[in-house]
Amino acid sequence: MKIEWNKVTWYSKLLAVILFLVVLALGFYIGALYEMVKVQNDALSTSIQNTSQIVSATFTCDAGKSLQAVFYDDKATVSLSDGRIMNLPRTISADGGRYANTDDSFVFWNKGNTAFIMENGTTTFSNCVTSQS
């Protein structure tokens, strides 16, 4: 079979239609994929903005204990030297920052460069101090 490059045949018409449909479908697929990624990125960006970290501080306490606190707008994540990690919402306090779980069995208090932790009414991490205020 001899190919004539300047002549329109039913093969060339069929190939043109198939290529058109493939390009059209590919365009729709890429557009849908772009929109899906854009929606996910927007949701992630909003989530990150809602939980933006304000400050992080490491405290040294009595009895060789320590803790690290990461403060956000409305909560704090407290990592204790005994390996526990507590995510605590900010609660009402007259002075300083108070972060506690729902039943107040774990309370983290912070004012300036000092902090302490009370568990079930007993102070378990006391005289905690950091150089960062």
Assess contact for 86 and 70: CB atoms under 8 A. no
Contacts 24+ apart (CB under 8 A), 35-43: none
Q: Could you state, in order of their start, the residue ranges of all structural domains in the chain?
A: 1-50, 53-129
- Whether residue 100 is predicted with pLDDT greater than 70 in this model: the reply is yes
pLDDT value of residue 133: 45
CA nearest to 68, candidates 80, 84, 51 = 80
Count the neighbouring beta carbons within 10 Å of the beta carbon of residue 126: 13
Count the neighbouring beta carbons within 10 Å of the beta carbon of residue 109: 19
This prediction has a pTM of: 0.59
**For residue range 29-45, what is the model confidence (pLDDT) as tens digits?**
998 888 888 877 776 66
Fold of 53-129: Lipocalin (2.40.128)
End-to-end CA distance of the chain: 85
